[in-house]
Chain A
């Protein structure tokens, strides 16, 4: 392709990427090293609030922002603070003192590390499950009778179509309190079951939900891949007396390897940003994720405060985490690409 054609072909998407990805990223990067705060003053204020019949008035010293007379907006100052917001998120001093004193459990009481523990575990536990379940469905569909394939594909794709928040809310409603499934389980086992009362059951539901939701994506990719398996190789393997498992292990899986890596890449990126499950399951008391932490910093409280610098720092840390996770599979893809084996 001529360079000029190529340029005009990709220009719109490069422009969009610069505008919607690069620019916000740079802005968040800068904000993570800055703190913008209103200029505060202390004033004596009398506030009267209603009781049921009469008012109570109290005079107290309040700390309120200064309002600029000309613009009518609050005056703010912005200061460069170096890595202070990162320190406030990471709380390394507590981290090291917990390690120093040997109380490893204390690390998990710091929000960031608690979130990191769950996020990593969630990502790494669901990864093999998604690939395994996806491959199993693909093999099953591939071996199903032709007349059945259409409906089976349709049904196995359904979970992927559901909006993540709606899906997690449905699971929450099925299990919370005397939800249908909890009530059934209780009748069946004769025990009182509370799925949302402790961390491990909530996590279990989250793993289950994510695998249920994402496995169809892996399935579709693998199913497409299975159509391109070299039949000659398979047949010669059969003639050589390879069992079903050996054919899978030595012929099919190596053939699908680039796809497995592709799915792993996508899954690592998606899972590290786990968020819907936390909100849908209302699990903040027991389980939090990195993305939720950023969201929590950004949510204004009743008085309108939001921790934008810490949110920026936390977002940058999340990005660094994803990059580290992706290095391994990306290096492999790069090697394969350079080696020209395909």
Chain B
């Protein structure tokens, strides 16, 4: 059966030039896309492939390829999938084109919310939002009589009760794999304590009271997590949930659908979503908002750009969303938010709202510095203050090299 499917998939991709009934027109221009590889992108690129003459490359390492591939002339891909983190190098190098006239021509179904404007020009079209928010085992919390936690203090109190009851291996799961994931945890927590990442002169401001508090909260998490948490990424935490080993985690909204995947999950229907916990009372949820969307390369002919955008709109239509409603928190018309989307929506509409992940050159440098220096703090080799000093130094060295600092 599986082999048959595989053969069929192969045959379909070979027959790329044939138009299929589900698409409203036949695409004549050969087009290629490079996007991330998660479920939502699969749904979108599948919908685009229905129009024919289209080759999709889904690659979780797209971020390392995209800047160079788009800088080539002609660009190696016409359509790119980006998030607010990964659009930065494309914007900086000017390798993606403004979409205003194309939106006017083909974008009747887009809502104004989807149009990513930089300096008044539409540079990308967003299709979904993503954020890290609280996922929890509603059955366990109900059994133990625990209210849904809204702050990290409440999360820790709940975790203590859960550990006492001994119903799961570890009360909390966390995406703290050293490097990008661990840094992202800090990037979530730090603004939650009201911290700003940079000063006006591009130096970093993480060595502050908010920074100390963020580190302290991260360390407290370790009391309730798997001892191997410094190797656990989003997929690992998702699997821990699916196998009933953890009871709570601040995890990506795009992972919510997997909790109810009957072929993988032993906890179908038992995981609920709530807003990301607040770091301090009256603050914003301690998380950052992300969007994913499409961009069109600058180094291609206008005809290709026209065809590429038209095809992208076909991929982002209502029909696609209705076929993959649970795959993401879609921004596309026709999306019907289900129970899995509650947490993400509560997070995004909270007041005050969490900040969007900043798309700047400095943020990329700081993210790397955090990812490299935080592990020593969490393994106990280095104190909190020394760690923040080390982060500042690592950032300063890198920023000078990148020309951001004098």
* Cβ proximity bits B378-406 to A, threshold 8 Å, 1 near / 0 not: 11011000000010000001100111100
User: Which residues of A (130-148) have their CB < 8 Å from a CB of B?
Assistant: none
Interface-forming stretch among B27-35, B154-162, B358-366? B358-366
**Are B349 and A305 closer than 8 Å at their CB atoms?**
no
User: A284 touching B401 by the CB < 8 A rule?
Assistant: no
- A40 nearest in chain B by CB position: B403
Are B116 and A48 touching (Cβ within 8 A)? yes
What is the minimal beta-carbon distance from A64 to any residue of chain B, in angstroms? 6
Contact A38 B403 (CB under 8 A): yes
On whether the beta carbons of B379 and A74 are closer than 8 Å, the reply is no
Type the 1/0 row for A19-58, where 1 means its CB is closer than 8 Å to any CB of B.
0000000000000000101111000011111111111110
Indicate whether B289 reaches chain A with its CB closer than 8 angstroms.
yes
Asked whether, in the complex, the Cβ of B365 is within 8 Å of the Cβ of A301, the reply is yes
Cβ of A332 within 8 Å of any chain B Cβ, yes or no, is no
B329 at the interface (CB under 8 A from A): yes
| B105 contacts A by Cβ under 8 Å | no
B93 within 8 A of A: yes
Given contacts A40-B404, A300-B67, A304-B92, contact A52 B348 (CB under 8 A): yes
Q: Are B178 and A285 in contact (CB under 8 A)?
A: yes
Does B361 contact A305, Cβ atoms closer than 8 Å?
Answer: yes
Query: Is residue A67 contacting chain B, with contact meaning CB distance below 8 A?
Result: yes
- Say whether A301 contacts B364, CB under 8 Å: yes
Query: A285-B375, A302-B86 are contacts. A307–B401 as well, Cβ < 8 Å?
Result: yes
Smallest Cβ-Cβ distance to A48: which chain B residue: B117
In the complex, A63→B329 CA distance in Å?
31
User: Is the beta-carbon distance between A282 and B372 smaller than 8 angstroms?
Assistant: no
Interface segment among A149-157, A191-199, A314-322: the answer is A191-199
Residues 259 to 307 of chain A near chain B (Cβ within 8 Å):
281-286, 296, 299-305, 307
State the CA gap A196–B226 with chains docked (Å).
Answer: 10
Select B403's contact among A39, A198, A310, beta carbons within 8 Å: A39
User: Judging by beta carbons under 8 Å apart, are B231 and A282 in contact?
Assistant: yes
Whether A55 lies near B113 (C-beta < 8 A) is yes
The bracket for how many chain A residues form the interface is 35 or more
- Whether A303 contacts B71 in the complex (CB less than 8 A), given A49-B356, A51-B113, A199-B379, comes out as no
Pairwise interchain contact B349-A284, C-beta atoms closer than 8 A: no
Q: A67-B94, A194-B228, A196-B228 are in contact. Are A304 and B403 (CB under 8 A)?
A: no
Q: Which of A57, A177, A302 contacts B226 (CB 8 A)?
A: A177
The interface centre, meaning the residue of B71, B112, B398 with most chain A CB atoms within 10 A of its CB, is B398
Q: Collect the chain A residues with CB atoms within 8 Å of residue B178's CB.
A: 282, 284-285
Partner of B329, one of A52, A57, A283: A52
Q: Which of A39, A46, A56, A72 contacts B356 (CB 8 A)?
A: A56
Tell me whether A309 is interfacial, beta carbon within 8 Å: yes
Verify B227–A303 contact, CB threshold 8 A.
no
Which of B18-26, B118-126, B140-148 makes up part of the contact surface?
B118-126
Residues of A within 8 A of B349 (CB): 51-53
Say which residue of A35, A52, A281, A305 sits within 8 Å of B345 (CB atoms).
A52
Q: Is the CB of A176 within 8 A of B228?
A: yes
Which A residues are in CB contact (< 8 Å) with B368?
301, 305
Contact B231 A74 (CB under 8 A): no
Q: Which residues of B contact A97 (CB under 8 A)?
A: none
- B115 CB within 8 Å of chain A: yes
Closest B residue to A110 using CB positions: B390
CA distance A198 to B404 in the complex (A): 36
With most chain A CB atoms within 10 A of its CB, the pick from B118, B177, B236 is: B118
B230 at the interface (CB under 8 A from A): yes
Please report the C-alpha to C-alpha distance between residue A310 and residue B369 in the assembled complex, in whole angstroms: 14
Report A86-130 CB contacts with B as 1/0, cut-off 8 Å.
Answer: 001000000000000000000011010000000000000000000
Pair B228/A109 contact, Cβ less than 8 Å: no
A187 within 8 A of partner (CB): no
Are A300 and B230 touching (Cβ within 8 A)? Answer: no
B129: chain A residues at CB < 8 Å are: 50-52
Chain A residues contacting B240 (CB-CB under 8 Å) are 177
* A57 to B120 CA separation, bound complex (whole angstroms): 10
Residues of B that sit less than 8 Å from A by CB: 63-64, 67, 71, 84-86, 88-89, 91-94, 112-120, 126, 129, 177-179, 182, 200, 202, 226-228, 230-231, 236, 240, 245, 289, 291, 298-299, 329, 331, 344-345, 348-349, 353, 356, 359-365, 367-368, 372, 375-376, 378-379, 381-382, 390, 397-398, 401-404
Instruction: A46-B118, A303-B85 given; name 7 further pairs at CB < 8 Å.
Output: A37-B402, A51-B349, A65-B93, A85-B401, A285-B231, A304-B364, A305-B368
Q: List 13 A-B contacts (CB under 8 A).
A: A48-B117, A51-B348, A51-B349, A65-B93, A194-B226, A194-B227, A194-B228, A197-B228, A286-B230, A300-B67, A303-B361, A304-B93, A307-B398
